Amino acid sequence: MSFAAAPEYQVFPTRERPLKPYAAAVRASQVTRRLIRSVDPDVVVADILTSAASLAAQLENRPWVTLVPHVMPMGRPGFPVYALGAVPARTRAGKRLWRLTRPLLMQGEQQGQRELNGARERVGLPPLSHVHGGISRELAIVATFPQLEYPRSQPEPWMRVTGPLLWEQPFGAVELPPGSDPLVLVAPSTSQDPEHRLLRAALTGLAGEKVRVLGALNHRTPTRPLPTPDNSRLVDWVSYAQTMPHCQAVVCHAGHGTLARALACGVPVVACPHAGDQAENAARVRWAGLGVSLPRRFNTPRGVRLAVGRLLSNRRYAVRAAALARWAEVNDGAAAAADAVEAVPRHTPSG
């Protein structure tokens, strides 16, 4: 395996004037195009967010695969709007309401289509007639549990749900809180909640409860001291792969990587979404019966205590999470993704 540096451009607000995302993608596509030409790959696999790589692959006439490292964001009629944190309607009236309101709420899809087609025009590619043009119609690898995907009446032939692609940096084992009470891991997001609001709420709310609490700081020093009840232990970092199999519950911000690892270990979750796709992930967990979702406004000591209590008192959450762990044991997401990529017809040089 060899590596080359990816072009980077500032697209988030700073003191300097940032580029708009597609303007940065247009610039980066030219650099990436030269890289593709020099490497001469048979297939280009690009993350769903890396528009530059997909544009460059198409400019070089290479087979292009999209990697979606979470649930599929492309909905269908009757699906709730992605990232709102809603679940599919159960009643006929609810389904009709989603059908009527979804076109109004999803005007952003058409805006995204216009912006992508504008970028395509600037690099010399023809426009696309469909939305979500950043997802390949040759192959899209959706790296999540199929149990988290809403059923589609018409499956997309180019969409392959492989199971999650799990990886983490090696890290040693940590000492767990002593005792035999259920172990609750508080695993906050590494990108959200810099004030440790969720960790503080969990430590406070679960103090005195018949549980053990292990909290991870994620290499971020608290701006003010955190409580450390007798039933808790704080660590700077933790290996999910080594620690989660010992847990009976995981409290997290519902980032897909943390959710997938917990479910692969057979542990139900309290999903406390904060930003990005976390609300969608929490909704999928709630819909699948794999945990409890706790809206951000209820990320309080009482809210976390009640949510953890509900999770631990109802065995169905643990039973369903254990079923996903058994599925993961016999379905290797990485192997399935590799097989799918290798099955893509290879690039044939012209001339």
pLDDT (tens digit per residue) in 203-237: 999 998 999 999 999 988 888 889 999 999 999 99
List, in sequence order, every residue forming a beta bridge with 171; answer none if it has no partner: none
Is 126 within 8 Å of 133 (Cβ atoms)? Answer: no
Run of H or E including 310: helix 301-313
Residues 6+ away with beta carbon under 8 Å from 166: 241, 257, 260, 261, 264, 333, 334
- In angstroms, rounded to a whole number, what is the distance separating the alpha carbons of residues 260 and 140? 19
Query: 339: how many CB neighbours lie within 10 A of its CB?
Result: 12
pLDDT band at 351 (very low <50, low <70, confident <90, very high): low
Give the pLDDT band (50/70/90) at residue 238: very high
Model confidence pLDDT, tens digit, residues 70-127: 999 988 777 887 877 888 888 888 778 777 777 776 777 888 889 999 999 999 999 9
Model confidence band, residue 11 (pLDDT cutoffs 50, 70, 90): low
Put simply, whether the predicted model's pTM sits higher than 0.85 gets the answer yes
Task: List Cβ neighbours of 329 (8 Å cut-off, separation of 6 or more).
Answer: none
- pLDDT for 221 equals 87
Tokens of 101: 């309101």
Residues 153-212 pLDDT 10s:
888 999 999 999 999 888 888 999 999 999 999 999 988 888 899 999 999 999 989 999
pLDDT value at 66 more than 60: yes
Q: How far, in Å, CA of 281 to CA of 271, rounded?
A: 8
350 has a pLDDT exceeding 80:
no
pLDDT value for 16: 64
How far is it, in rounded angstroms, from Cα 118 to Cα 111? 11
pLDDT averaged over every residue in the chain = 91
